[in-house]
Chains A and B, each alone.
Chain A
Amino acid sequence: MAIVTIDGQEIEIEDGARLNGIEAARRAGVEIPHYCWHGGLSVVASCRMCLVESGRRDLQTGQVSMLPKLVPACQTPATPDSVFITNSEKVRAARAMVEEDLLIRHPIDCPICDKAGECSLQDYHFEHGQKERRADLKPFTSRRRSLGDTVTLFVDRCVMCTRCVRFCREVAGTSELMVTDRGAHEEIDVFPGFPLANKLSGNVVDICPVGALGDKDFLYQQRVWFMKGHSHVCAGCSTGCSIRIEENQGQIYRLKPRENPHVNQWWMCDEGRYGWKYVHAGERLTAPNAEGKVLEWPAIIDKLQTDLPKAGRLAVALSPFQTVEEAYLLAKFIRQIDPQALIGVGPIPHSGDDESYPSGFTIRAEKCPNRRGIEKLAGALQGELLSWDTLVKRCHPEDEHSAQGLWIAGGYPAPAPWGTDPWITESLAALPLLVVQETFPSPLGERATFQLPATTFPEREGSFINYGDRIQSFTWAIRPPSGVHADGQLYWRLLQQPGLYQARPVLSELAEFFVYFSAASGPIPDVGLDLKINQLAASGPELAGIASAHTPHPTA
Chain B
Amino acid sequence: MSTEFEPVLLAHVGQPESHTLGYFEQHGGYQSLKRILSDVSPEELVEQVKASALRGRGGAGFPAGLKWTFLDKKSRPIYFCLNADESEPGTFNNRILMEEDPHQVLEGLILSCYATQASTAYFYMRYEYPRAWDRVQRAVDECYAAGYLGPNILGSGYSLDVFLHRGAAAYICGEETGLIESIEGKRAWPRIKPPFPAVEGIFRKPTVVNNVETVACVKHIADRGVEWYRSIGVPPDPNNPRDIGSFGPKLYCLSGHVERPGCYEAPMGITVRELIDQFGGGVWKGRRAKAAIPGGISMGLLREDEFDCPLDFNGPGRYGCLGLGTAAVVVMDETVSIVDFLHNSCQFFAHESCGQCTPCREGTSWALKMLQRIKAGRGRLFDLDLLLEIGDSIGIMPGTTICGLADGAAWPIKNAIRKFRDEFEQYIRQTNPNGYAETSPVPAFDLHAIHGTISSST
Contact = CB atoms under 8 A, between A and B. Distances in A.
Given A48-B358, A102-B358, A140-B444, A184 B350 contact: yes
A46 B192 CA distance: 9
A43 B352 contact: no
Interface string A120-144: 0000000000000111111111000
Contact of A49 (B358, B447, B458): B358
Nearest to B360: A183
Most B C-beta atoms less than 10 A away, residue of A67, A71, A93, A97: A97
Contact of A139 (B189, B373, B447): B447
Interface residues of B, number: 41
B356 A44 contact: yes
A181 B386 CA distance: 27
A186 B400 contact: no
A179 B358 CA distance: 15
A140 B445 CA distance: 10
A553 interface: no
A101 B354 contact: no
Interface string B360-393: 0111111001100100000000000010000001
Contacts of A134: 386, 441
A177 interface: no
Most B C-beta atoms less than 10 A away, residue of A47, A49, A51, A185: A185
B354 A70 contact: no
Interface string A50-81: 01000000000000000101111001000000
A343 B440 CA distance: 77
A543 B370 CA distance: 72
A138 B361 CA distance: 16
A135 B356 contact: no
B366 A135 contact: yes
Given A70-B398, A182-B354, A184-B365, A137 B444 contact: yes
Given A136-B444, A138-B444, A182-B170, A101 B399 contact: no
A295 interface: no
**Chain A interface, >50% SS class:** loop
A45 B193 CA distance: 10
A98 interface: yes
A133 B386 CA distance: 12
A160 B170 CA distance: 20
Nearest to B194: A75
A70 B362 CA distance: 19
Nearest to A138: B444
Contacts of B192: 43-45, 72, 75
Interface in A327-386: none
B373 A136 contact: yes
B441 A133 contact: yes
A97 B393 contact: yes
B211 interface: no
Contacts of A179: 187, 355
A37 to B, nearest CB: 12
Given A101-B358, A184-B361, A71 B454 contact: no
A196 B401 CA distance: 30
B402 interface: yes
B353 A184 contact: yes
A186 B361 contact: yes
A136 B400 contact: no
A105 B455 CA distance: 12
A94 interface: yes
Interface in B340-363: 350-359, 361-363
B336 interface: no
Nearest to B442: A136
A133 B444 CA distance: 13
Complex A-B, nearest 10 residue pairs according to Cβ-Cβ distance, in ascending order: A69-B399, A101-B362, A184-B365, A70-B399, A183-B353, A137-B444, A186-B355, A136-B442, A139-B444, A46-B356
16 contacts: A46-B357, A46-B402, A47-B358, A75-B192, A101-B361, A102-B358, A135-B366, A136-B373, A137-B444, A138-B444, A139-B445, A182-B355, A183-B365, A184-B353, A184-B362, A184-B458
